[in-house]
Amino acid sequence: MYAVETRSLSKVYRNGLKAVDEISIKIEEGEIFGFLGPNGAGKSTTIMILTTLLKPTSGMAYVAGFDVVTQAKQVRQNIGYVQQDSTVDEYLTGRENLQLQARLNHMPKNSVNERIDEILDLVELSDRQHDAVVTYSGGMRKRLDIVGGLLHRPKVLFLDEPTLGLDIQTRYKIWDYIRKIHKEFGISIFLTTHYMEEADKLCDNISIIDHGKIKVTDSPKSLKNALGNEVVVFEVDSDLKLGDLLSELKKASLVKDVTAEGYEVTIFSPSGNQVMPKIFEIAGKLGIKIESITLTKPTLDDVFLSYTGRELREESNGYNRKKEREKMRRLRA
Ligand SMILES: Nc1ncnc2c1ncn2[C@@H]1O[C@H](COP(=O)(O)OP(=O)(O)OP(=O)(O)O)[C@@H](O)[C@H]1O
Ligand SMILES: [Mg+2]
């Protein structure tokens, strides 16, 4: 059985927009799976179908082995869902919010308090549990949102953009809590994000989604490796003999491509580590001094770019797009 399985799942909204387009995914039990895509890609729509809040237009979806349409009740019993926007009541305390949620979920009274203690402890909110949520920081609210989804011991936890709008340090902390929850409870996690680093650091597997379609599914590592090339950029102290240096480098093994702009040279290679000493060796022979050198491995940013033709971070202008395409051409081995 899969934690989540969909077959050609689609959603067409009433206005005719196909927000989810023939999505097929399989998420193993115990996996942290990520949906990585830009604004409007269809991430929340997919999550709402999987959590039974929205009916699919066509296709099938199973969560914890249950059909989201015909067995919606069983699905709901087995999932936790943390929405993109916070749903807690600011004027209640952290603990009161969880108690309210437990009542709404018809959880047996006797076990609830113990469970609340356990999960508050897990995300280090015990100290502040009797304070009104209005006094919490963004990160604390998010932690409360997340544990709210864990109250009834779900098998699959859905997190829609768990760190949206939080600063970097807080985001890192939330990742730690998500890892801790995953380890402690052994649950499967389906999360959506448009932060590359989040998908990279947290997920066993990811699907890149754009305009409702899945472009590719794999582990972050395989996706990056598949691009093939690393990039070494170095700066020389003068352009004297630069032409000789470039032609020598072009002949070196493991060098795929060499370009120069002013005093800056860029090399594309499947193994930057092995090329770096060669650069010093050849430059040394020609009496050229290397002022600085950096090695960059492909990021999920580059992977996204290669599958969608644009950057995830922001819509870029024409100039950048041209540069991006050029970069991609070289990154692909
Ligand atoms: N109720 C609706 N009726 C019509 N169109 C909708 C509705 N809800 C969402 N959409 C559209 O469907 C597309 C997918 O939206 P969705 O919210 O699933 O994207 P998302 O990937 O979660 O984006 P974000 O990163 O902004 O949260 C968007 O173009 C959105 O405008
Ligand atoms: Mg969304």
Q: For residues 332 and 251, which has the higher predicted lDDT (pLDDT)?
A: 251
Per-residue model confidence (pLDDT) at position 246: 94
- CA of residue 38 to ligand 2 center, whole Å: 9
Q: Which ligand is nearest to the CA of 194?
A: 1
| Whole-number percent of the chain with pLDDT over 70 | 93
Nearest atom (ligand 1) to Cα of 212: 14
Ligand nearest to the CA of 213: 1
In tens, the pLDDT along 251-271 reads 999 998 898 889 999 998 989
pLDDT for 183 equals 94
**What local confidence, expressed as pLDDT, does residue 315 receive?**
42
Pocket test for ligand 1, best of 14, 44, 207 (most atoms within 8 A of CB): 44
Tell me the average pLDDT across 213-220.
94
Local confidence band at 238 (pLDDT 50, 70, 90 cut-offs): confident
Q: What's the whole-model pTM score?
A: 0.84
Cα(191) to ligand 1 centroid in Å equals: 16
DSSP assignment of 91-129 equals TSBHHHHHHHHHHHTT--HHHHHHHHHHHHHHTT-GGGT
Model confidence at 331: pLDDT above 90:
no
Q: Identify the residue whose C-alpha is closest to ligand 1 atom 7.
A: 13
Separation of 222 CA from ligand 1 center, angstroms? 29
Per-residue pLDDT at 316: 38
pLDDT of residue 240: 86
Tell me how far the alpha carbon of residue 43 lies from the centroid of ligand 2, in angstroms: 5
Residue 104 banded pLDDT, cuts 50, 70, 90:
confident
Structural domains of the chain, with CATH: 4-218 (3.40.50.300), 225-331 (3.30.70.980)
Ligand 1 geometric centre to CA of 168 (Å): 25
**Average pLDDT estimate for 15-26:** 97
Q: Of the bound ligands, which one is closest to the alpha carbon of residue 39?
A: 1
Q: How far apart are CA 235 and CA 251, in angstroms?
A: 19
Average pLDDT, integer, range 164-174: 92
Nearest ligand 1 atom to alpha carbon 42: 18
Pocket test for ligand 1, best of 9, 12, 17, 51 (most atoms within 8 A of CB): 17
Tell me what the mean pLDDT of segment 245-255 comes to: 93
Local confidence band at 53 (pLDDT 50, 70, 90 cut-offs): very high
| 100 pLDDT higher than 80 | yes
Which residues pair with residue 63 across a beta bridge?
A: 4, 66
**Residue with the larger pLDDT of the pair 238 and 31:** 31
Report CA(163)–ligand 1 centroid distance (Å): 18
Q: Cβ(89)–Cβ(133) under 8 Å?
A: yes
pLDDT at residue number 298: 83
Residues with CB under 6 A from ligand 1: 13, 15, 17, 19, 37, 39-45, 84, 194
Q: For 269-320, what is each residue's pLDDT tens digit?
A: 989 999 999 999 999 999 999 999 999 888 888 888 888 877 766 543 444 5
**Residues forming a β-bridge with 82:** 159
Using the atom order of ligand 1, give the atom closest to the CA of residue 15: 4
Structure tokens at 333: 């081995």
Cα separation, 117 vs 240, whole angstroms: 70
CA dist 137 to 140, 149, 169, Å? 5, 19, 13
Cβ contact 191:4 at 8 Å:
no
- Of 333 and 1, the structure prediction assigns the larger pLDDT to 1
